[in-house]
Amino acid sequence: MAFRDLLGAATFVDEETSVLHGVFDKSKSTGHDLLVFNKLKEAPGHRIAVNLLTRPRLCAALSIEPGDFIDLLGWAMTNPGEPKVVTTGPVLENIQSEPDLYKLPIPHHWREDRGRYMSSSVIIAEYDGIRNMSFHRQLLRDKNHLVARIVPRHLHSITKSARAESKEVNVAIINAPDPVVLLAAAMSFNTNIDELTIASALHEKVHGSPLELVELPNGIQVPAQAEYAMWGRITTENDDEGPYVDITGTVDDIRKEPVIEIDGITHRTNPVFHALIPAEAEHKTLMGLPRAPTIKSAVSKVCECLDVHMTEGGGGWLSAVVKIRVKNEGDGMKAIHAALDGHKSMKMVTIVDEDIDITDPVRVEWAMMTRWQPDTDSVILSNQKGSSLDPSRLDDGNTAKIGIDATIPWGYDRSGFMSVQ
């Protein structure tokens, strides 16, 4: 499926709009509805889409029920499939061998940001026989250079290894592929799993065929249906990146980060640029939703886990509610430790019974107030690995974490804890 095929429910904005705050301001004025901007001041011939991939729209696009979403992602993680390499595809319709990033509709959303950012573009890298696909925001520095905030995961390790040998890393940067590609790119693994094989498994499950890839001039393969693809190299140079409004709505730090040199750009005819707005629902969906299956998998090893919800208040990243079916004494406490281990950046987890709607914060709080004793049903862990998204973390990057067991106390008559509302 092409990204543009999902835009049927969008409101189309036909007046000329600037990518410098104009797209953001219009989106904010509508409550961040699904919008497509057809006339961009700085990028004639290009379009922008915002606020597409919320959880309900993702489920509709993939033709699945919301309750089945996590299990679908979990299935793909354990059943990778090989993509199909083809000779050509729509992404190769307009090739530019002399790139000018300023002519692309890369937006400057929040006024607190350093400049124009690609927040939903995905980096595909290959080095020493390993391929990695992952999200790392990219700051537009000049006509053929980006500065990427490469967070400490696999691409960071690849870049570090290459630089130890004074080598560059060949990369592609794609924008607006099929949503299954974005979901796969947002996953993280403890081993070197090729995320494109996860995307292909999802594509075959949802669309009935493997994901098709085409090869760029530097040898990197990219989804054939993507709206944009760029090819280049992670250089040995660093430059300032940030400030940037991140998923929690707070402003992230300025750091020295790797510079990517772009050697070429290709895109579809009449392309649609996916311009994710940081800290809004789409950002939280793409970052947080793929964490849920890893948490569910970890908790399922110690008890029966039914569902996981990454909370809005936690930015879709720092906090979760986990629904379990209690069968043995201590299941709630075991679930706490497993969940925190399943997502290392998480700061807080709340465990509830199967009768609680984990997407409703009022019902979750009700479970806490009627089933949880803070002194006996809590776990507090000190000096744990924290997240850079948490401004309250300690100077060394560590944080404290809390787990709350809000399940019905073991050995009690459950009828006294059930709501009649």
Average pLDDT over residues 107-127: 97
Return the active site residues: 246
Give the pLDDT band (50/70/90) at residue 190. Answer: low
pLDDT at 57: 82
pLDDT at 299: 97
**Strands, E assignment, 145-302:** 145-148, 169-175, 212-215, 221-223, 228-241, 244-245, 251-252, 255-267, 272-274
pLDDT tens, residue by residue, 385-415: 888 888 899 888 899 999 999 999 999 989 8
Give the pLDDT band (50/70/90) at residue 153. Answer: confident
Q: Nearest to residue 229, comparing CAs of 116, 93, 138?
A: 93
pLDDT tens, residue by residue, 21-61: 999 999 999 999 999 999 999 999 999 999 998 888 888 87
Q: Which of 60-64, 111-115, 178-182 has the highest mean pLDDT?
A: 111-115
Q: If 0-12 CB within 10 Å is exposed, 13-18 middle and 19+ buried, where does residue 413 land?
A: exposed
Distances (CA, A) of 8 to 11, 35, 46: 9, 10, 18
Q: Read off the tokens for 28.
A: 């904010």
Helix (H) or strand (E) holding 308: strand 304-310
65 pLDDT above the threshold of 70:
yes
Q: If 0-12 CB within 10 Å is exposed, 13-18 middle and 19+ buried, where does residue 171 land?
A: buried
Express as a percent the part of the chain with pLDDT over 90. Answer: 78
Q: Where exactly does CATH 3.40.1670.10 map onto the chain?
A: 290-410
pLDDT at 71: 86
pLDDT at 187: 82
pLDDT at 68: 79
**Strands, E assignment, 51-204:** 84-85, 94-96, 117-118, 122-127, 130-135, 138-142, 145-148, 169-175
Give the pLDDT band (50/70/90) at residue 266. Answer: very high
pLDDT at 5: 92
Give the pLDDT band (50/70/90) at residue 62. Answer: confident
Gap between the Cα atoms of 39 and 14, Å rounded:
6
Helix (H) or strand (E) holding 14: none
Q: What's the chain's average pLDDT?
A: 94
225 pLDDT above the threshold of 90:
yes
3-state secondary structure of 166: coil
Which amino acid is residue 284, in one-letter code? K
Give the β-pairing of 169-175 and 122-127.
antiparallel
Give the pLDDT band (50/70/90) at residue 128. Answer: very high
Average pLDDT over residues 358-372: 96
288 pLDDT above the threshold of 80:
no
pLDDT at 101: 98
- Which of 63-67, 257-261, 292-296, 337-341 has the least mean pLDDT? 63-67
Give how far the C-alpha of residue 301 lies from the chain's centroid of Cα atoms, to the nearest Å: 25
Average pLDDT over residues 348-361: 96
Name the more confident of 68 and 138.
138
111 pLDDT above the threshold of 90:
yes
Q: Which CATH number is correct for 68-269, 2.30.110.10, 3.30.70.20, 3.40.630.10, 3.30.70.360?
A: 2.30.110.10
Work out the number of other CB atoms within 10 angstroms of the CB of residue 187.
21
Average pLDDT over residues 180-201: 88
Average pLDDT over residues 125-147: 96
Q: Where exactly does CATH 2.30.110.10 map onto the chain?
A: 68-269
Query: CATH number of the domain at 290-410, please?
Result: 3.40.1670.10
Helix, strand, coil content of the chain in percent (nearest 5): 30, 30, 45
Asked whether the beta carbons of 182 and 62 are under 8 A apart, the reply is no
